[in-house]
Structure 1
Amino acid sequence: MHIISQVHSRACSLIKMATVPEPKRKTCSYSFHREPLTPLIELGSLVTDDRLKSFVGRYGDILTVLKTVVDPVPLQTLLQFYDPELRCFTFQDYQLAPTLEEYSILLSIPIQHQTPFLDVPKEVDFRLIARALRLSVKEVSDSWKSSGDVVGLPLKFLLRVAREEAEKGSWEAFHAQLAVMIHGIVLFPSMPNFVDHAAISIFIGRNPVPTLLADTYYAIHSRHGKGGAIRCCLPLLFKWFMSLLPAGGPFVDTQSTLKWTQRVMSLTSYDIRWQSYRMDVRDVIVSCGGFRNVPLVGTKGCINYNPVLSLRQLGFVMSRRPLEAEVVESVYFEKRTDPAKLEQIGRAWKFVEAKDGSVLGKKFAIAMPDYTDWVKKRVETLLLPYDRMEPLQEQPPLVLADSVPAEHYKQALMENRRLREKEQDTQMELYKAKADKLHLAHQLREVQGEDASRTRGNV
């Protein structure tokens, strides 16, 4: 009788849990404005295959960022999971946070272990700007304008001179002018149709990744809970988020039948595409100077982020808990309001601490139970923004026989999935290589045909 009573009590509890809605956190509506990019995309198409390697080698893969079509719905969903205290996105049993290393690899731009952009120079050095943009000092000084509370060069002027350089075949000058426009309009947007002094200074400094990450975190953090416009490099944030989501299977198959929020809420840590092989991260910047995390200076303000939260994301085993001791120091303020703090951050970046795999631990994206439990407890405090969903794909069992530890089984499953995904990626690369080969062969035949026609015409 006692056993029956216990079973009945348990059943009632389950029914109660199923009928009482779980408390949820408040959601906000965000907007993602981007300037019309058609003129820049048209100019970008002039960087043909024979010149692309040189462009990417000097300025990074910013043309891909320029051409990235941003779907606002995934970003709108992502921002609802922002955890302002920890500077990350906290989901049901995992956390995500953009990192310096990921942004660096997505852009093909190395992170310089030196002081990044701190502030716009007080005096405008027209000679330096003219040299960087392959223009005369007079052209720069005569075209220098103000827009709102910033100064810089109008996009209309830069488009004109870039077209002129392309017509002359002055490709080095054209590349520099195209790159600075992408910096001002896409990477570091400020005013419409305007490339401001900050973007030009970052372009000249050749170390944009820390500033890009700073602007991303600052834009999200400053608008958290308020809604409104998010102004940062949206294509890069979008590419980062999409790179972690399943690229096939039920998540993709249900895109026409389930909302984005439902699809994301169906994901567990097992479904995420951890970067263990897609991004070969050997060293991770974990702190700077006296800071226990990484302080970042953006074009609008300063903020820190906590790389320790992203070790699993970068492919390392997550087992060290609790995390609170690693994320105690917060930095968040507008640049103009605290020059002393700004100077302190600048000094800290002269002493970058990067740790390699031998220190960080085994290179495999597995989370130990203590980490997963810690995240779930964090969720109880933070709450989730949407109703939970059943996983769309089969999950590994929580408990196995004593002879087969559950984490080892999960690791084997993830390794098997990793190999399948790698095979798919390799097949796509092979398909692209074959298509490129056919395209080049077609171009060669066209050139040979033109040469033959000219030869016949001269006979």
Structure 2
Amino acid sequence: MKVDKRLFRALVQFWNLAYNCFTFGKVDLVPTIEEYTALLRCSRVQIDRIYSKAVNVPTFLRKLMNISGMSEQWVTVRIKQKGDSRCIHWKDFKDLILAHPDVGKRVDVRALSIYGLVVFPKTLGHVDEAVTDLFDRLDKRVSPVSVILAETFRSLNAYQKAGEGRFIRCVQLLLAWFHSHFWKVDKFSYWVFSESYSLLKEIVATPRRDNISEEKWMAIF
């Protein structure tokens, strides 16, 4: 989903630090676990099994080996230290996506890359160690929704306090949630009840103007 930076900058100005919600005049609006679960189409079995970091977890090295299917030597030489975090460069994953002999591993590495670069980006162009821990737990039927939502709130607070900077927690999903509240449905059909229907795909596919100024968005809000 293309990020409309002018829309986002205007939207953040209505973020209420005291109550952790957007306040538009007398209306308060905030993303909920239920809404994000619906957008991400998380299975019902996951709703009551939220992610939390376990006490005893495999090492970063071991998790990368399990996810990628590569050898200890291959992984070891590619782990980098960036500030206070350990990570692996996206280019190394890109090479695996293009050439890995195991189709399942190609899919896993691609999915991990999306989590590391889009959902929880920290170091530009790298996938962070913390993301691999969450991703490693997904096949155990835990829901990532609460962690995505909590990190989104934390980033909104930091962004609002600083008044600038880079929003690093899944701005695409936040804007998709925003559009879901202002999306006009011209005709209602049975397909919205189909298991194959995805509201998120519908939102992304809906054409929108991207030339509205930040001032105009402020006036609309």
Q: For the superposition of Structure 1 and Structure 2, which TM-score range results when normalised by the shorter chain? A: 0.7 to 0.9
The CA deviation at 1:239 is 0.6
- The secondary structure found in structure 2 opposite 1:135 is coil
User: Among 3, 9, 14, which residue is 1:81 paired with?
Assistant: 14
What does 1:39-438 correspond to in 2, within 5 Å?
A: 68-110=1-43, 111-114=46-49, 116-118=51-53, 124-165=59-100, 168=101, 170-206=102-138, 207-229=143-165, 230-247=167-184, 259-264=216-221
Deviations 1:94-138 (A, max 9, x none): 211011111122122244423523489787253343122222233
- Taking structure 1 as reference, are residues 159 and 126 closer, same or farther at Cα in structure 2, changes over 3 Å only? same
One-letter amino acid of the counterpart of residue 215, structure 1: E
Unpaired segments ≥5 residues, structure 2: 187-207
- Identity in percent: 26
Q: Answer yes or no: is the 8 Å Cα contact 2:65–2:75 preserved in 1.
A: yes
- Taking structure 1 as reference, are residues 248 and 116 closer, same or farther at Cα in structure 2, changes over 3 Å only? closer
Please report the TM-score for the alignment, with normalisation by the length of structure 1. 0.38
Counterparts of 2:55 and 2:159, CA distance in 1: 24
Unpaired segments ≥5 residues, structure 1: 1-67, 265-459
Report the equivalent of 1:58: none
One-letter amino acid of the counterpart of residue 128, structure 2: D
- Taking structure 1 as reference, are residues 199 and 128 closer, same or farther at Cα in structure 2, changes over 3 Å only? closer
One-letter amino acid of the counterpart of residue 220, structure 2: R
- Taking structure 1 as reference, are residues 83 and 152 closer, same or farther at Cα in structure 2, changes over 3 Å only? same
The CA deviation at 1:246 is 4.3
- Taking structure 1 as reference, are residues 102 and 120 closer, same or farther at Cα in structure 2, changes over 3 Å only? farther
- The secondary structure found in structure 1 opposite 2:127 is strand
Q: Answer yes or no: is the 8 Å Cα contact 2:89–2:125 preserved in 1.
A: yes
One-letter amino acid of the counterpart of residue 27, structure 2: Y
Counterparts of 1:85 and 1:179, CA distance in 2: 35
One-letter amino acid of the counterpart of residue 213, structure 1: L
Counterparts of 1:151 and 1:120, CA distance in 2: 19
- The secondary structure found in structure 1 opposite 2:49 is coil
Deviations 1:321-366 (A, max 9, x none): xxxxxxxxxxxxxxxxxxxxxxxxxxxxxxxxxxxxxxxxxxxxxx
Counterparts of 1:228 and 1:247, CA distance in 2: 31
Counterparts of 2:96 and 2:115, CA distance in 1: 16
Please report the TM-score for the alignment, with normalisation by the length of structure 2. 0.76
- The secondary structure found in structure 2 opposite 1:228 is coil
Report the structure number with the largest CA radius of gyration. Answer: 1
- Taking structure 1 as reference, are residues 84 and 154 closer, same or farther at Cα in structure 2, changes over 3 Å only? same
Aligned-CA RMSD value: 2.7
Q: Answer yes or no: is the 8 Å Cα contact 1:150–1:196 preserved in 2.
A: yes
Aligned residues: 191
Counterparts of 1:72 and 1:125, CA distance in 2: 34
- Taking structure 1 as reference, are residues 125 and 72 closer, same or farther at Cα in structure 2, changes over 3 Å only? closer
One-letter amino acid of the counterpart of residue 35, structure 2: E
Deviations 1:118-159 (A, max 9, x none): 489787253343122222233222322111221021111111
- Taking structure 1 as reference, are residues 256 and 147 closer, same or farther at Cα in structure 2, changes over 3 Å only? closer
- The secondary structure found in structure 2 opposite 1:113 is coil
Counterparts of 1:121 and 1:88, CA distance in 2: 35
The CA deviation at 1:203 is 0.8
Q: Answer yes or no: is the 8 Å Cα contact 1:119–1:198 preserved in 2.
A: no
One-letter amino acid of the counterpart of residue 162, structure 2: K
Q: Answer yes or no: is the 8 Å Cα contact 2:89–2:126 preserved in 1.
A: yes
- The secondary structure found in structure 2 opposite 1:140 is helix
- Taking structure 1 as reference, are residues 239 and 115 closer, same or farther at Cα in structure 2, changes over 3 Å only? closer
Structure possessing the higher relative contact order (Cα contacts under 8 Å, 6 or more residues apart)? 2
